[in-house]
Amino acid sequence: MELLSGGEMIARALKDEGVEFIFGYPGGAVLHIYDALERTSDIPHILVRHEQAATHAADGYARATGKVGVVLVTSGPGATNAITGIATAYMDSIPMVVLSGQVASHLIGEDAFQETDMLGISRPIVKHSFQVKCAQDIPATIKKAFYVARTGRPGPVVIDLPKDITQPGQKFAYDYSEEVKLRSYSPATRGHAGQIKKAIQLILEAKRPIIYAGGGVILGEASKQLTELAHRLNAPVTNTLMGLGCFPGHDKQYVGMLGMHGHYEANMAMHNADVILALGARFDDRVTNTPSKFCPYAKIIHVDIDPASISKIIAADVPIVGPVKAVLEDMLLQLDEAAQKKELQQDTQAIATWWQQIDQWREDHGIWHTPRYDLSSGKIKPQQVIDTLCKITHGDAYLCSDVGQHQMFAAQYYRFNQPRQWINSGGLGTMGFGLPAAMGVKLAYPDADVCTITGEGSIQMNIQELSTCTQYQLPIKIFNLNNGYLGMVKQWQDMQYESRYAQSVYKDSLPDFIKLAEAYGHVGMKIEKSADLEPAMREALAMKDRLVFLDIYVDRHEHVYPMQIAPNGSMQDMWLSKTERT
Amino acid sequence: MRHIISVLMENEPGALSRVIGLFSQRGYNIESLTVAPTEDKSLSRLTLTTIGSAREIEQITKHLNKLIEVVKLVDLTDGEHVERELMMVKVKASGAQRAEIKRCTDIFRGQIVDVSPSIYTIQLAGTSDKLDAFLQAVGDVSILEVVRTGVCGLSRGDKVLSV
C-alpha cells in the first residue's frame, strides 16, 4: 500500500472523491496541505481574496452542479471568516466540505497564535463536524464528511485539521474505502407507502389543489417528477424563493413565487386551496405570514427528507418522510393504479372552476399579466432590468443574486426554465453572496451566461473578488441596481418608520464603479436612461470573454410589491402598491 | 409536561456539546442531565429531563435524532418506566436534631454515608418527587449542601434501548 503524509492524504482523498475545484486561502496552519497540493495534486485551486468568498464560491458551485463544494482555509481568522458562508450553506441545505486548519495538537487550548475553537464556533451551523486526531484517520474522515454533506438533507461539514497531523515527515498507508458506514446515520430512501396512498386520495378528491414546491425539489433532483405530477393533476404550482426553477417558469400551470413578496395569484391560490401538496419546503416565516391564519381551508400533505421540518410550523395532515423524488415516483405509480381501477377520479369540473378563479386573479393583479411598473418617467425601473434580462437570455441564464430589493425583483420577474439556475441566499439572507457565488457557477459552466444581480450595498460586501475574477478570467456579468440606498431597508423605513432613513443612505461616498471595475481590468458600463438599458445589456452579454460591471441607475424610490401585510396578516393580505392593498 | 428522554449516542468527544448546543440554540430547556458510557464502551447513554408541550417534545426528539452521533433515543415518559435520581445531602445534626434526622432518613429509606459530631451526610435514591419531599421534611434550616445526579431511567418490561 502507498505511503503518504497527512497533507498528501488530503490531496489524494479530494482527488479520489472527484473534487473539481478547491476554493481557499492559505495560512500558517495549512501550509503543509498547500505544499502537498502543489506537489501532488492537479485539482484547480481558486485563490479568493477573503475566506467568506471561498465558502460562497463553493456554495454557488454546489447549487449549480449538485456536487459538494470544497473549501480550504487556515486556522483562526481564516476559519472565522468562513463562518458566514457556512451558515449561508447550512440555512439552504447546500452540500459543502470545509477543511479548516488548526494549530498543532499540543497547542490546542493554549490560546496559541491563530487558534480558535472552530468546532465550537461552527457547531450550530454545520450538519456535522470532525476534528482529526491522527493522520491515519484522514481518509476515512474525508470520506465520511463528503457522504454526510451530500446525502439526506444536505449541508456543510467542517473538518478541523491540526497542523501536526499534516506534516510531510511522517508517512502512513493510504486507503480510500468505497463505502461509508455510520450506524447512527441512515437517511430515508423511500416514503411510507400507506401515507402516500392517503396523500393520493386527498389530492384526487381536492377541488382546489395546489403544489407548493421548495428547494428540496431541486436538491433532490425531482423537477421532472414534479412537472409530470403537476401536469397529470392539472394542478397549479407555486415555488418558494429556494424552489424557483424546479418547475418551468413559463408553464401555464405555474402561478409564481409565494410568500412575503410572492405573486398575488400564488398567495391567493394558497390561501384558498383545499389541499396543499408541500414538496421539499419548510413553511418558512417568509412564506406563511401569521401561522394561525395560514391557509384556513387546506388539508396539508408535507413531503420532506427531514422529519424535523414536518409539522414544525404548520401541522401536516399527511406527513411523508422521504426523498421527494422517490415519493413523487411512488405517487405517479399510484396515480396509474387509481386510473386503471377507475376507483378514484378527479372532479375535473371543480378543477376547471379553480383555474377560472386563478386566471381571474392573474388578470386582476398578476405582474406577469400586466407589469406593475411605470416607465413613463424615463427612469430605469429595477423590475424592467430583470424583465429585459429574462427576455434577452430567454430564461436560460444563471442568476446569482445578492440580498435585498434586487433579489426580490429578480425572483418575481425572471422566469427560470431549469432548476439550479437561481442561486441566492434564501435562508440566511447574506449580502455579499452574489459575486463569489457567480465565480463558482462560472467555473462549473464556463459557456453559460452567469449574471450577478446585486445592488450598490451588497456588491461592496465582497467587491474584492473582482480581483479573483481577473486572476481566473471569469467573465461574469454584474448587474448593479444602483439606487443609492439600502433599498429594502429604505422600503421598510418608508412603510413603518415614516421615511426616517436611519443609516440606509451613503451620501456621496459611493465609488465610481466604472473606474473600480476598470482598475481590476474589467469593463464598466454606466447606464442612466431607460432607452439605453436593453442595448447596453445586449452589448455586455455579447462580450463573452470579459467581466462587465453594469452600473445601472434605477428609480431610487421603487418598492417591492406585492408585500404581505404583517404582523397578523394571512397569505392573502398584501400591499399591491404604495397605496393599494387587498 | 415533564419528559424523560434517554439517548444512546457515540461515545466521542464533542457529542455531548452537540446535544447541549441543540437545546440552547433552539430555546428548549434542560431540567436535568446525566451521561456516562454504557457496557459497550463505544456508546454513551444520556438521560435528560425537559418540560414542553407535545409539539415541542416532538421537535426535540426529531432534532436529537438528526445529530449524527445520536444512535437511538426513547421518550421514557411515553410508556411505563422506572426512574431514579440519586441525591447526597449534608445536614446539621446535633442535639435533638440528630435523632430526628436519623429517623427521617430511615423513613425515606436513605443511608447516612458520612458522620461527624455535628454533621450527617445522607444518600438517598428515588424519584425526583421523593427527593424533594425528603428535603422538605428535613427543612431548610438543617441543610448545608445538596447534590443531585439528575434523573436516569429504563422502560419497564422487555422494551430495550440498544443498537
Q: What is the ipTM of this complex?
A: 0.92
Residue B96 has pLDDT above 90, yes or no: no
Q: What are phi and psi of A45, to 5 degrees?
A: -110, 130
Q: Which of B21, B63, B68 sits opposite A182 (nearest CB)?
A: B68
- Check CB contact under 8 Å for A148 and B55: no
| Residue A563 CB-half CA count within 13 A | 18
The SS3 assignment for A275 reads strand
A509–chain B nearest CA distance, Å: 39
- Exposed/middle/buried for A410, CB within 10 Å: 0-12, 13-18, 19+? buried
Q: What is d(CA A89, CA A84) in angstroms, rounded to the nearest whole number?
A: 9
Which pLDDT belongs to residue A234?
97
**Contact between B33 and B150 (Cβ < 8 Å):** yes
Which pLDDT belongs to residue B14?
92
- CB count within 10 Å of CB B106 equals 11
- Exposed/middle/buried for A51, CB within 10 Å: 0-12, 13-18, 19+? buried
Q: What is d(CA A409, CA A421) in angstroms, rounded to the nearest whole number?
A: 16
Ordered alpha helix ranges (H), A422-563: 434-444, 465-471, 487-496, 513-519, 530-542
pTM exceeds 0.90 for this model: yes
**Contact between A17 and A146 (Cβ < 8 Å):** yes
Q: Quick one: cell of A1? A: 500500500
For B43, residues 6+ apart whose C-beta sits below 8 A from its C-beta are B8, B9, B10, B11, B37, B71, B163
Per annotation, catalytic residue among A127, A143, A144, A163: A163
Q: Quick one: cell of A278? A: 408541500
Nearest residue of chain A to residue B64 (CA atoms) = A308
Q: What is d(CA A288, CA A30) in angstroms, rounded to the nearest whole number?
A: 45
Q: What is d(CA A48, CA A55) in angstroms, rounded to the nearest whole number?
A: 10
Q: What is d(CA A177, CA A465) in angstroms, rounded to the nearest whole number?
A: 37
- Check CB contact under 8 Å for A120 and B10: no
Residues paired with residue B87 on neighbouring β-strands, in sequence order: B124, B148
B9 to chain A, any CB pair closer than 8 A? The answer is: yes
Q: What is d(CA A230, CA A232) in angstroms, rounded to the nearest whole number?
A: 5
Q: What is d(CA A82, CA A100) in angstroms, rounded to the nearest whole number?
A: 9
- CB count within 10 Å of CB A515 equals 9
Which pLDDT belongs to residue A558?
96
Q: Quick one: cell of A446? A: 464556463
Which pLDDT belongs to residue A507?
85
Which pLDDT belongs to residue A254?
98
Residue B99 has pLDDT above 90, yes or no: yes
A283 is catalytic: no
Per annotation, catalytic residue among A38, A113, A133, A337: A113
Q: Quick one: cell of A76? A: 483562526
Q: What is d(CA A432, CA A402) in angstroms, rounded to the nearest whole number?
A: 6
A chain contacts of residue B163, beta-carbon cutoff 8 Å: 183
The DSSP code for A581 is: B
Of the pLDDT bands very low, low, confident and very high (cuts 50, 70, 90), residue B68 is very high
**Contact between A440 and A69 (Cβ < 8 Å):** yes
Q: Quick one: cell of A235? A: 394542478
Per annotation, catalytic residue among A118, A488, A525, A571: A488
Which pLDDT belongs to residue A162?
98
The DSSP code for B35 is: E
A505 to chain B, any CB pair closer than 8 A? The answer is: no
Q: Which of B10, B14, B63 sits opposite A184 (nearest CB)?
A: B10
Residues of chain A with pLDDT under 70: none
Q: What is d(CA A94, CA A64) in angstroms, rounded to the nearest whole number?
A: 10
Q: What is d(CA A140, CA A96) in angstroms, rounded to the nearest whole number?
A: 17
Please, which contacts does A342-348 make with residues 24 or more away whose CB atoms are closer than 8 Å?
Answer: A344/A200, A344/A201, A344/A204, A344/A205, A345/A204, A346/A204, A346/A206, A346/A233, A346/A234, A347/A205, A347/A207, A348/A234
- Check CB contact under 8 Å for A123 and B58: no
A chain contacts of residue B58, beta-carbon cutoff 8 Å: 311
Which pLDDT belongs to residue B141?
85
B31–chain A nearest CA distance, Å: 21
| Residue A267 CB-half CA count within 13 A | 30
- Locus of grid cell 427576455: A391
A311 to chain B, any CB pair closer than 8 A? The answer is: yes
- Check CB contact under 8 Å for B59 and A308: yes
- Check CB contact under 8 Å for A184 and B21: no
DSSP line for B132-155: HHHHHHH-TTTEEEEEE---EEEE
Q: Quick one: cell of A334? A: 399510484
The SS3 assignment for A368 reads coil
A294 is catalytic: no
A113 is catalytic: yes
- Check CB contact under 8 Å for B71 and A128: no
A109 to chain B, any CB pair closer than 8 A? The answer is: no
Residues paired with residue A69 on neighbouring β-strands, in sequence order: A96
The DSSP code for A6 is: H
A114 is catalytic: yes
Which pLDDT belongs to residue A127?
98
Closest CA to A481 of A551, A545, A419, A537: A551
Instruction: Choose the mutation target among A184, A186, A311 for the interface with B, i.e. most B CBs under 10 Å.
Output: A184
- Check CB contact under 8 Å for B14 and A307: no
Residue B163 has pLDDT above 90, yes or no: no
A chain contacts of residue B68, beta-carbon cutoff 8 Å: 127-128, 148, 182, 184-185
Tell me the torsion sign for CA atoms A408, A414, A415, A416: negative
Residue B91 has pLDDT above 80, yes or no: yes
- Check CB contact under 8 Å for A185 and B68: yes
- Check CB contact under 8 Å for B55 and A311: yes
B25 to chain A, any CB pair closer than 8 A? The answer is: yes
The SS3 assignment for A15 reads helix
Strands A209-213 and B143-148, by their bridges, are unpaired
Of the pLDDT bands very low, low, confident and very high (cuts 50, 70, 90), residue B53 is very high
Strands A548-553 and A563-564, by their bridges, are unpaired
A chain contacts of residue B72, beta-carbon cutoff 8 Å: 184
A163 is catalytic: yes
> Can you tell me the mean pLDDT for B23-35?
94
**Contact between A225 and A332 (Cβ < 8 Å):** yes
A chain contacts of residue B62, beta-carbon cutoff 8 Å: 307-308
A chain contacts of residue B17, beta-carbon cutoff 8 Å: 120, 123
Angle at B114 between CA B109 and CA B117, to 5 degrees: 115
First to last CA, chain A: 71
B56 to chain A, any CB pair closer than 8 A? The answer is: no
Instruction: Choose the mutation target among B55, B68, B71 for the interface with A, i.e. most A CBs under 10 Å.
Output: B68
Q: What is d(CA A418, CA A398) in angstroms, rounded to the nearest whole number?
A: 10
Which pLDDT belongs to residue A350?
97
- Check CB contact under 8 Å for A124 and B17: no
Q: What is d(CA A296, CA A309) in angstroms, rounded to the nearest whole number?
A: 20
The DSSP code for A346 is: -
The amino acid sitting at A409 is F
Which pLDDT belongs to residue A1?
79
B57–chain A nearest CA distance, Å: 11
- List A residues 180-219 in contact with B (Cβ-Cβ < 8 A): 182-185
The amino acid sitting at A524 is G
